Chain A
Amino acid sequence: MGIVTVIEAQGLTKKFGDTTAVDNVTLTVPQGALFGLLGPNGSGKTTMIKMLTGQVRPTNGQATVLGLDVMNDPVGVRKSVGIIPEQETPPSFLTAMEYLAFVGAVRKIPDIDEKAAWWFSFLEFEDKRDVLCKDLSRGTRQKLMFAQAFLHKPVLALIDEPLINFDPIMQRKVKEYLSDYVQSGGTIFISTHILEIAEEICTGFAILHKGKLLYSGAISELADKKQHLSEFFFSQVRDD
């Protein structure tokens, strides 16, 4: 049985006026990978995730996620995957608990109270469950967004900057969770500019710079070459 591809992008391009945010990117992500999309600020990582989740329409090219065309069936894609956007956006006037109940109702998730309780406990924010989202700290909002993305146990989660607002203790906990998730058959696609995270948990990675894909491969390939990810990254993104 061959490797199942969960994300497949071919010649994906996005232009905003005269600016090309993503330029002719071809990329595949196999099932069971913890794949990191790496790149400096403004390299097109967020636009790439937005295209893959049907939030932004590509100017050229095509992409499928879990076999669904992101342009023709964006709602179907979002139904199947979990998404954590770069900017945390839980609705201001719902409480944390209400937001998870809201997500549960929209996604038709059974036993939402028990599942929400598990997440409050796991991410250690039970004391915030009845507080309005607008009054939550950045870190707590990110915990909430993290919980909503995994509430329905998706086979694929796309996460934009997954750990940026977490403290070191929570970072470790979440990294362990992501690794376990992949071990149990899930696929994680993260975008980040923090190379240490990628080196520590990713199995595969791609480097995006100024909208262009510079490299795509497995982390193990670097180990074979006895090269650190950061060295390799800087050698790739160095301006000519």
Chain B
Amino acid sequence: MGLELFTCMMKEEWRLHSTMFGSLSFALFPVLIFGIVFMSSFLLPLFRVVLPAGDLGLITIGVFLLLGVMVGGFGLLGNEVMNRRFGQMSLLAYSARSLPLSERYIFTNFVIKDIVYYLFLWVLPFVLGFAVASPFIGVPPVYPLLLFASLTMSFLFGLSAIFLLSTVYSRSKTALAILFTAVLVIAGWAYLSYGASLADLFPPLQLLRNGTYLALFLSCILVAIPFTVSIALFTPEYTGTSKRFSNLLTPLTGKLSFFPTPPLAAKDIIDLWRSGGGVGQVLFSFLLPLGLIWFFLSVLRSLVPDYAVLLVFAVTTGIISATMYTWITSFDTFSSYACLPVSVSTLITSKICTFTVLQLVPAVFMVIVTIITGMVLYLIPAMVIWGAVSFYALSVSIYLTGLTPNILVYDVNVLLAFLVLIGVPVMVVIALAFINPYFGVAALLLGIPAFGLVSKGYKRWEGKEMASF
């Protein structure tokens, strides 16, 4: 029965994605990853001149750890997030209501399905791309195997750690706050004590560097413990209790009266807050990834000036900040507004307003990072670069994906267009900032294409049927 359920969930996940943007387009996504990695592998000899192989391995491991964190952060917050993720859809995750299967059993299958699915979607194509290129760049044949094992472990650790935090969250928000604070304190203390060499203790990285059975064993333990504990702690939330809330919409609409569509913006903020997304998303999809990125960028400090690291971090923060658009579009489809006199462009305008309010979080974050790293001198270029990149990336998302950035990001054509439209101007900004940090202020010019992209996005998505998908 377990295998049947698992197989059906895999089919369901595939059909969910392929229905949304076409079987071929979605099937090409792993091929795209394979192609990019295959071609990038030939640049490795060039990279090694400026970046030691060990640091490159560390960054790769970090990227997959981050990927696991983001995949885990996307879901697995119990029923609340299943609802958010699946909306009103009837999926196997709900089958405990009609089949003689326990919630825990279904949930375990759901988790395994997600692991396998994303391994095939991301990890395997990445490693295969490198493996096929490895004979041409003088990499020993065993290295792709080690890479596969270590990247898998790194990805799974990210997933399982977030899974654990999410499960704790679904039981007690206070317990999560204590656990999260403890992890931050310990990580901070360890970073201050060991610096970047702290990463050397990470078993998946040891596995990649040394290829020992001990490292493999420790990696397995590192992954297995959070998974086991979180499945044991899992609690189905829908027990029939319904909380009551006083009317928050009316006063919030009044406070947001300077916006063009106050009730829509108020609804977005309430959605985010009550879904747990307000705190959860900031922790899992913003602070945690950026913390990891800062850690991995810090290895560049021996190669480039400190201000360059800060400004590259500002660019990265800008891109991650732009993903907040996916937070506020994940609660409803346009069909939710189909009985109201609201156009697609009005709705997009409202989401831009809500997005602007949310940018307060990364703005404060960037100020804090700039201060604690002792680079207040570069506060202005850092803030300008962050803000310009964030709003520019938002405009690209709006133009390419309209109100559905969550699902269209897996469309190969859209992803390629996104990478090109973001990558090229961002590279120019980074290059300018490297020449002189204040040249980075030129990022403000991104406002011009951003305005054009949003205007085109309005016309583009107004003309398409958005009633349902």
A residues near B (Cβ < 8 Å) are 50, 53, 55-57, 74-76, 78-79, 82-85, 87, 89, 91-95, 97-98, 101-103, 105-107, 130-132, 134-136, 145, 148-149
- Taking a contact as CB atoms under 8 Å apart, the answer to whether A106 and B340 are in contact is yes
Asked if residues B339 and A78 are in contact (CB atoms below 8 Å), the reply is yes
Could you say which residues of chain B place their CB within 8 Å of the CB of A106? 263-264, 340-342
Segment at the A interface, from B97-105, B241-249, B285-293, B452-460:
B241-249
Shortest CB–CB separation between residue A103 and chain B, in angstroms? 7
Most buried by B among A74, A91, A107, A131: A91
Closest Cβ of chain A to B330, distance in Å, is 11
Q: Which of B88, B262, B270 contacts A105 (CB 8 A)?
A: B262
Residues of B at under 8 Å CB distance from A?
Answer: 83-84, 88, 242-250, 253, 262-264, 266-267, 270-271, 274-275, 331-332, 335-336, 338-343, 465, 467
**Is B270 in contact with A98, judged by CB distance below 8 angstroms?**
yes
Other-chain residue from A78, A85, A102, A107 in contact with B249 (beta carbon distance below 8 A): A102
Q: Tally inter-chain residue pairs, CB-CB below 8 A.
A: 104
B245 contact set on A, CB distance < 8 A: 95, 98, 130, 132
- Can you pick out 21 interface pairs between chain A and chain B where the beta carbons lie within 8 Å of each other? A53-B338, A53-B339, A55-B467, A87-B88, A89-B335, A91-B332, A91-B336, A92-B271, A92-B331, A93-B270, A93-B274, A94-B249, A95-B244, A95-B245, A101-B247, A102-B263, A106-B341, A106-B342, A130-B247, A131-B243, A135-B242
Q: Of B243, B270, B465, which one neighbours A94 at CB under 8 angstroms?
A: B270
| Residue of B249, B331, B340 touching A101 (CB-CB under 8 A) | B249
Q: How far is the CB of A59 from chain B (nearest CB, A)?
A: 11
Give the Cβ gap from A127 to chain B, nearest Cβ, in Å.
Answer: 10
Nearest A residue to B463, CB-CB: A57
Cα separation A89 to B338 with both chains bound (whole Å): 9
Closest 4 CB pairs of A and B: A135-B242, A79-B341, A105-B263, A83-B339
Contacts of B339 in A (CB 8 A): 53, 78, 82-85, 89, 145, 148-149
A131 touching B331, Cβ below 8 Å: no
> Given the complex, which residues of A lie within 8 Å of B274, measured CB to CB?
93, 132
Q: How far is the CA of A3 from the CA of B345 in the complex (A)?
A: 37
Contact between B465 and A98 (Cβ–Cβ < 8 Å)? Answer: no
Q: How far is the CA of A95 from the CA of B274 in the complex (A)?
A: 11
How close is A189's CB to chain B, nearest CB, in angstroms?
14
A75 touches B343 (CB 8 A): yes
Residues of A within 8 A of B275 (CB): 92-93
Contact, CB under 8 Å: B88 / A85: no
Tell me the minimal C-beta distance from A147 to chain B in angstroms.
12
Q: Across the interface, which residues of B come within 8 angstroms of A55, CB to CB? A: 335, 338, 465, 467
Which B residues touch A91, using CB under 8 A?
267, 271, 331-332, 336
Bound together, the chains give a CA A145 to CA B274 distance in angstroms of 21
In the bound complex, residues from chain A placing their C-beta under 8 Å from that of B266 are 102
Contact between A78 and B341 (Cβ–Cβ < 8 Å)? yes
Chain A residues near B267 (CB-CB < 8 A): 91, 94, 102
Q: B162 to nearest A CB, angstroms?
A: 22
A149 to B338 Cα, complex, angstroms: 12
Q: Which partner residue on chain A sits nearest B339 by CB separation?
A: A83
Which residues of chain B come closer than 8 Å to A79, judged between CB atoms? 341
- How far apart are the CA atoms of A237 and B270 in the complex, in Å? 48
Inter-chain contacts of A145 with B (CB < 8 A): 339
Additional 15 contacts, C-beta under 8 A, given A78-B341, A98-B270, A101-B253: A53-B339, A74-B343, A75-B342, A85-B338, A92-B83, A92-B271, A93-B275, A95-B245, A105-B262, A105-B263, A107-B340, A130-B246, A130-B247, A131-B244, A148-B339
Contacts of B271 in A (CB 8 A): 91-94
Q: Is the CB of B270 within 8 A of A76?
A: no
CA gap between A107 and B338 in the complex, in Å: 13
Q: Which of A75, A85, A92, A93 meets B335, CB within 8 Å? A: A85
Q: Which residues of B contact A76 (CB under 8 A)?
A: 341
- Known: A78-B341, A83-B338, A148-B339. Contact between A132 and B242, CB under 8 A? yes
